[in-house]
Structure 1
């Protein structure tokens, strides 16, 4: 059965009663609006339309089929998105779309406070490989309009200005708030834009082992975590992610701050990259990468990378903690 046609049953580990709005009724209203706004006539859905979130238009079906297909001689296409993950991401998108936009002006900085760690692998005497953790906790100031360099402060208190060429050259990999405002809010168009980048840098002939699908999932996660995007763009990013082959639901996950939630994830190369959401507010708490098999990086179940957002705000100057930091 196509996820778009499935009954709107409860998600594992997440009940309608826990949602910040009347979940099932609200979602049905959303689907009706989507159906009425979709161009007609719609083409008959094929099995590849599993890539679509509920209520998508027929033109998006064609896009999803293209994105999920493997080229001649390439690796087999990933499994269609897990219907439960699609439903969760659509609910997250609805919540994100209704959130107030941050009140910012050019010349200001978006402030983000995080806690977490990453893992590095290095050779030790005797030739063995040893994994070691690095504390990634800290604060970051990102120029709203790209007119100033980003600034970071580590958990130890050291502050550094990140490389910047003095020009506003925001990209998907190095965004500003104004750049995010310029992105399309249509999930299909947005995903096409992201795939244009990931196919170029991670597709056949690129030398990358990540692949366009995993690279797209990682890119969207970075955009959502690193920058507080405009509500419409945030919602579009979540709905775009719901169309990436291989996304699954993880009923329970814990972020770097010790908060438990429900996650949407994607498996690649023996690792599972998870986006962790608060069960009640459906806010994105953080992201982690978990090993699925033993290896040089650690035992299966180890979170080799885990970063949680614990505070956001707006500052007039880089390096200055905002008077009001919103707990996240």
Structure 2
């Protein structure tokens, strides 16, 4: 695709987005400034990828639990993505993971622009963030004879999380309510509306914050083979699905993801309720993590995991976990729906 064709494609995509999105609250950047911004972003991605390539070789990911958590892994069978971050490098050095593709940077920028102009209700102390998801995970179990069975487990739920984490969290699964301890202070592993509001919205600084946490828990000496890059991608996906990130932070999260090596696009993905979209994806250890976005509005639909290799968890192409975000809102009381 030459420069003129890329410009035409970009104008077409922006036109579709404008038709589907509400009028922006601020003027959009002129095309030349937007292109300059993207060139700078791609340059930063390439710089970071070169720095990462001088680091340690990635190790095969080790499963420490049998339940495949929705937020941990994902994948699909697109050949070009299958080579990314898929295992250890050559005997002479680590496998070089390429920077985020130009297609993924463009898609992530569309998602960021959409997030910035999407109306969002402000929350106040005493309220709750409500999220409803539909989906499934996969689980391995062993019977008395020692045979291993793979089963699909319904993982749909509703959850009410206190804005500041000071109150208990209400979780409803299969018609049954569970009360979980509050998470006052929040954090990346247990985000609340208040804790996310304190995160930086500069994409590079935000990624540094997320990556520092990933280094502590998945870096050298941790025993984890997920690695900081993959864990940073997973963590951003978790924050996007939490329903607690405001428009500015959501936009920053998408732009931070564009700085992670190995990020690409899967052109056709389906969420847990059958909605089709295009996915931002990253491959690790024979699986691909996908964030499924609406092709017209760039709104997040859900996340899924697809195997790229045959194994105990299924055959290549199997969706081993999938979650669709079907409702998000701010409510006054736990148990109330928006």
Q: TM-score range by the shorter chain?
A: 0.7 to 0.9
Q: CA-to-partner distance for each residue in 1:213-263, whole Å, 9 max, x for gaps? A: 110000000000012311110000000001111011000100001100000
Write the distance in 1 (CA, Å) between the matches of 2:141 and 2:149: 5
1:308 and 2:303 matched: no
CA apart distance, 1:22:
9.9
Gaps of 5+ in 2: 22-26, 59-93
More off after superposition, 125-134 vs 229-238: 125-134
Decide whether the 8 Å contact of 1:285 with 1:308 is kept in 2: yes
CA apart distance, 1:86:
0.9
Alignment of 1:1-328 (within 5 A): 7-8=6-7, 10=9, 15-20=13-18, 29=30, 32=33, 35=36, 53-56=38-41, 60=44, 64-65=48-49, 68-72=52-56, 75-154=94-173, 156-164=174-182, 168-322=184-338
1:215 to 1:8, Cα distance in 2 relative to 1, 3 A: farther
CA apart distance, 1:31:
5.7
Write the distance in 1 (CA, Å) between the matches of 2:275 and 2:258: 24
Decide whether the 8 Å contact of 2:262 with 2:283 is kept in 1: yes
CA apart distance, 1:203:
1.0
Q: Which residue of 1 aligns with 2:88?
A: none
What secondary structure is seen at the aligned counterpart in 2 of 1:285? Answer: strand
Write the distance in 2 (CA, Å) between the matches of 1:217 and 1:318: 30
Gaps of 5+ in 1: 1-5, 39-52, 323-328
CA apart distance, 1:299:
1.4
What secondary structure is seen at the aligned counterpart in 1 of 2:312? Answer: coil
The TM-score, its normalising length taken from structure 1, stands at 0.81
Q: Which has the higher contact order (CA 8 A, sep 6+)?
A: 2
Moved over 6 A (4+): none
1:182 to 1:21, Cα distance in 2 relative to 1, 3 A: farther
Write the distance in 2 (CA, Å) between the matches of 1:312 and 1:61: 32
What secondary structure is seen at the aligned counterpart in 2 of 1:250? Answer: strand
The TM-score, its normalising length taken from structure 2, stands at 0.79
Decide whether the 8 Å contact of 1:16 with 1:22 is kept in 2: no
Q: CA-to-partner distance for each residue in 1:112-159, whole Å, 9 max, x for gaps? A: 1110001111223443322111111120101111221211001x2100
How many residues are treated as equivalent by the alignment?
Answer: 295
CA apart distance, 1:56:
3.5
1:15 to 1:128, Cα distance in 2 relative to 1, 3 A: farther
